[in-house]
Amino acid sequence: MLVRVGEIGKRVLLGRKLRSAQLGETLLSKRIALPVFASDALSSVAYSPDEIFLVLSAAGLSAYTFSWKIAIAVAIVMLAVVTSYRQNVQAYQSGGGDYEVSTVNLGPNLGLTVGSALLVDYVLTVAVSISSAAHYAATAVEGLNGHEVSMAVLATLFLMAMNLRGVRESGTAFALPTYLFMIAIIGMSLWGFARYSLGNLPLAESSELSLRPHEDFVGGLGGFAFAFLLLRAFSSGCAALTGVEAISNGVPAFRKPKGRNAATTLLLLGTIAITMALSIVTLANLMRVRVAESPATDLLDRQGNPVGDGYQQDPIIGQLAAGIFDNFDPAFYFVTAVTGIILVLAANTAYNGFPVLGSILARDGYLPRQLDTRGDRLAFSNGIVVLAGFAIVLIVAFDAEVTRLIQLYIVGVFVSFTASQTGMVRHWNSRLRVEDDPVIRRRMKRSRLINGFGLSVTALVLVVVLITKFTRGAYIAILAMAVLFVLMKAIRRHYDRVSDELAIDDTDVALPSRVHAIVLVGRLHKPTMRAIAYARVSRPNSIEGITVELDVDETQRLLERWDELQIPVPLKVLNSPYRELVRSVVRYVRERRKASPRDIVTVYIPEYVVGRWWEQLLHNQTALRLKGRLLFTPGVMVTSVPYQLASSQGRSHRQRPVPGEIRRGEPIPVRRSDEVQ
pLDDT tens, 242-297?
777 777 777 877 888 888 888 888 888 888 888 998 999 999 999 999 988 888 88
Homologous superfamily, domain 25-497 = Amino acid/polyamine transporter I (1.20.1740.10)
Q: Work out the number of other CB atoms within 10 angstroms of the CB of residue 216.
A: 14
Distance CA 370, CA 549 (A): 45
Is the whole model's pTM more than 0.75, yes or no?
no
Q: With contact defined as beta carbons under 8 Å apart, do 341 and 129 qualify? A: no
Determine the pLDDT at residue 172: 67
Choice between 628 and 603, residue whose per-residue pLDDT is larger: 603
Q: Which of the four pLDDT bands, split at 50, 70 and 90, describes residue 7? A: low
Please determine, for residue 25, whether its predicted confidence score (pLDDT) is greater than 70.
Answer: no
| Residues 325, 201: Cα–Cα separation, whole Å | 10
pLDDT above 60 (res 482)? yes
Percent of the chain surpassing pLDDT 70: 86
Question: Between the ranges 213-227, 291-305, 439-453, 482-496, where is the mean pLDDT highest?
Answer: 482-496
pLDDT category, 109, cuts 50, 70, 90?
very high
pLDDT of residue 171: 60
Residue 258's closest CA among 379, 104, 421, 92? 92
- Range 119-139 average pLDDT: 82
Q: Which helix (H) or strand (E) holds 102?
A: helix 97-106
Choice between 10 and 377, residue whose per-residue pLDDT is larger? 377
User: At what angle are helices 167-198 and 148-164 packed, to 10 degrees?
Assistant: 130
pLDDT at 140: 66
pLDDT value for 558? 92
Q: What are phi and psi of 607, to 5 degrees?
A: -140, 145
pLDDT digits (tens, 9 = 90+) for 143-165: 777 788 888 899 899 888 888 87
Q: What pLDDT band is residue 113 in, cutting at 50, 70 and 90?
A: very high
Domain borders along the chain are 25-497, 510-664
| pLDDT score at 4 | 52
> According to the model, what pLDDT value does residue 410 have?
74
Structure-model confidence comparison of residues 487 and 578, the more confident one: 487
Query: Worst-scoring range by mean pLDDT, 538-542, 602-606, 622-626?
Result: 622-626
CATH architecture of the domain with residue range 510-664: 3-Layer(aba) Sandwich (3.40)
pLDDT confidence bin for 221, thresholds 50/70/90: low
Q: Give the model's pLDDT for residue 578.
A: 75
Q: For the segment 33-42, what is each residue's pLDDT rounded down to a tens digit?
A: 777 777 777 7
The more confidently predicted of residues 374 and 108 is 108
CA 303, CA 298: separation in Å to the nearest integer? 13
* 413 band by pLDDT with thresholds 50, 70 and 90: confident
**Cα separations in angstroms, 391 against 126, 256, 360, 387:** 6, 33, 21, 6
For residue 11, name the pLDDT band (cuts at 50, 70, 90): low
What percentage of the chain exceeds 90 in pLDDT?
23
Position 546 confidence tier, pLDDT thresholds 50, 70, 90: very high
- pLDDT for 233: 84
The dihedral of CA 152, 158, 164, 167: what is its sign?
negative
Higher-confidence position of 228 and 11: 228
Residue 668 reports pLDDT greater than 70: no
The pLDDT confidence band at residue 386, using thresholds 50, 70 and 90, is: very high
Nearest to 239 by CA among 76, 403, 406: 406
The predicted pLDDT at position 671 comes to: 44
**CA dist., res. 78 & res. 89, Å (int):** 16
> Judging by beta carbons within 10 Å of its beta carbon (0-12, 13-18, 19+), is residue 639 exposed, middle or buried?
middle
Element (H, E) at 602: strand 600-609
Q: What is the mean pLDDT of the chain?
A: 82
The pLDDT of residue 571: 94
